[in-house]
Amino acid sequence: MDSRQQCVVAGGGPAGLVLGYLLARSGVRVAVLEKHDDFLRDFRGDTIHPSTLTVLQDVGLLERFLELPHDEVAELSGDVFGEIVTIADFRRLPAPRPFLVLVPQWDFLDFIAGEARRFPNFTLHMGAKAESVLEEGGRVVGVRGKGHDGAFEIRADLVVAADGRHTTIRDSAGLNAIDVGAPIDVLWFHLPRDPQRHPSRTGGIIRAGAILVMLNRQSYWQCAYVIPKGGFETLQAEGLQRFRERLATVAPFFAPDVATLETWDAIKLLTVQITDLEQWHRDGLLVIGDAAHAMSPVGGVGINLAIQDAVAAANLLAEPLRGGRLEANHLAAVEKRRHWPARVTQRAQVAIQDTVLSPVLARTDAPAGVPLPLKLLQRFPRLRSLPARLVGIGVRPERVRVAPHPAA
C-alpha cells in the first residue's frame, strides 16, 4: 500500500468510486479504501437515474454500462387506494437516456472500479477500513486504518470521507451532523415474480395503513415496506405469519408467494436517517455523499445525489490537486455548490414523509378518491414530467467539466 497519495478516498461506494475514477482520469494520484472484500451487499440502492446516465455519457462510459444486464423504467406508477395512477414520466426529460436503470449496485460499482483501474494512478484497496484522520498542526494530512496486513497510514494532500451514513472519518475529524428526523423505517425483501399473475409496472401500492414499493427485476421483486419509525419490533412481536398476511392483504397477487419469507433473516431493516452536516470540510478534508447528507429512500435519489457530489468535487479539485496547490477555499467551493441542492432535496423528502407517508400509515380507512395532485397528473399528463425531473435529474445537476489528462 503506497503511503503517499495526492488524494485518498475513504469508502468504495458510488460517491467514492466515481470521484476516484474522475480524479484518476484527470491525472491525480488517488487511492480508494473499501472496508469490505467485495461489493456484494444486498438491499442497497439499485436505481441509476438519468442524471447519472448523463455523467456516464460525459466520460464515454454510457454505452458500455448499458451492456450490463439491467432493467429500464420509463415511468413510475402506483395503485393508490385501488386506482392505478401514473406519477412520473421520464420520457420527456432532457437526458441522453430518459429512463431509470435498475441494476444491482455491486454491478455498478464493479463496472466503475474496472474502468478506474485502467488508469495507472488509481488504486483500489479492498478489505481496507479507514478508521480515523491523521492530523498535524490542525490540518488533516491522511488516514489511519486496518487491513488484512494490519494497521496502515496513508498521507495525502486531500482526504475525502465518502464512507456513508455510518462514517468514522467524519466523526474522527470532529465534524457534527444534524439529525433532521425521519418518521419512517423501511423493510427490504425479495419476492419471486410470476409474469402470469403479477403486474409488470415498477411502482407502489398504497392502502390505509400500508405502503409497499415494488421494483420489477423480471424474475423477482425488490420490495420496500414502509413502517412507522421504530415499528419493526412490534411487527416481530406479532409474528412472521401476521406480517405475511399483511403483505397478502396489501397485494393479493402475492398471497401464494409470501411463504418464501421463511424467517425474519430474509427481511432487512433500513433505519431511515436524514442528516445534514453543518460543515463539509476542514483543511485537508472533504465530506461527500451520505457522510455529508444521509437521505431518506423517498425517490431513490441518494445514490445519484452522492454521484453529483463526486462530479462537483472532481470539477473543482482536480486541477489544484494535480498542481499541488489545494487550499481550504477549494474545498469550501465544493460545499457551497452541493450543500444547497442536498438541503433542498432533503426538505422535499421531509415534506413528503410528513404530509403523505405518515398520514397514510396512520389511516384506518381509505379516502373517497385519490388526492387532488394525483388527479391532476392523470388529467394533464405533461405534468408528470415535473416529478420525473425532481427524481430523475434533481436540483442543480452536475456535468463533467474536468478534461482527461494526457498522462492518465
In order of 22, 103, 400, the CA distances from 55 in angstroms are 10, 16, 6
CB 189 within 8 A of CB 197: no
**Which residues, other chains included, contact 394 with Cβ-Cβ below 8 Å and sequence gap of 6+?**
49, 51, 301, 304, 305, 308, 341, 345
**Residue 273, number of CB atoms within 10 A of its CB:** 17
* Mean pLDDT along residues 266-271: 93
Query: Residue 258 gets which letter from DSSP?
Result: G
The pTM (predicted TM-score) of the whole model is 0.94
The x, y and z cell numbers of residue 322, run together, are: 494535480
pLDDT tier for residue 1 given thresholds of 50, 70 and 90 = low
CB 250 within 8 A of CB 205: yes
CB 193 within 8 A of CB 180: no
Residue type, 339: H
**CATH class of the domain at 4-180+273-392:** alpha beta
Distance CA(382)–CA(398), nearest Å, equals 25
Q: What is the pLDDT of residue 393?
A: 95
Tell me which residue of 10, 16, 23, 102 sits closest to 307, measured CA to CA. Answer: 16
* Mean pLDDT along residues 267-275: 92
In the sheet that 220-228 helps form, which strands lie side by side, from edge to edge? 83-89, 75-80, 203-207, 210-216, 220-228, 184-192, 268-270
The secondary structure of 311-364, three-state, reads: HHHHHHHHHHHHCCCCCHHHHHHHHHHHHHHHHHHHHHHHHHHHHHHHHHHHCC
CB 357 within 8 A of CB 15: no
**Which residues, other chains included, contact 11 with Cβ-Cβ below 8 Å and sequence gap of 6+?**
32, 33, 34, 130, 161, 162, 163, 164, 167, 289, 291
DSSP assignment string, 73-124: ESEEEEEETTEEEEEEEGGGSSSSS-SEEE--HHHHHHHHHHHHTTSTTEEE
pLDDT tens for 10-61 read 999 999 999 999 999 999 999 999 999 988 776 567 889 999 999 999 999 9
* Mean pLDDT along residues 192-204: 88
Residue type, 298: V
pLDDT tier for residue 247 given thresholds of 50, 70 and 90 = very high
Q: What is the pLDDT of residue 367?
A: 85
* Mean pLDDT along residues 364-391: 90
Q: Give the residue extent of every domain in the chain.
A: 4-180+273-392, 184-228+231-270
| Residue 269, beta-bridge partner list | 187
**Which residues, other chains included, contact 199 with Cβ-Cβ below 8 Å and sequence gap of 6+?**
253
In order of 59, 142, 291, 315, 329, the CA distances from 399 in angstroms are 10, 29, 22, 9, 21
pLDDT tens for 292-348 read 999 998 888 999 999 999 999 999 999 999 999 999 999 999 999 999 999 999 999
pLDDT at 165 over 60: yes
Q: What is the pLDDT of residue 368?
A: 76
For residue 368, give the 3-state DSSP assignment: coil
* Mean pLDDT along residues 101-115: 94
Q: What is the pLDDT of residue 406?
A: 81
Q: What is the pLDDT of residue 371?
A: 84
Q: Using the Cα atoms of residue 127, residue 133, residue 136 and residue 141 in order, give the sign of their dihedral.
A: positive
Q: What is the pLDDT of residue 80?
A: 92
pLDDT tens for 49-91 read 999 999 999 999 999 999 999 999 999 999 999 899 999 999 9
* Mean pLDDT along residues 81-108: 92
Q: What is the pLDDT of residue 199?
A: 85
Helix (H) or strand (E) holding 131: strand 129-136
Percent of the chain with pLDDT over 70: 99
Q: What is the pLDDT of residue 284?
A: 97
Mean pLDDT of the chain: 93
Q: Which residue has the cell 484527470?
A: 26
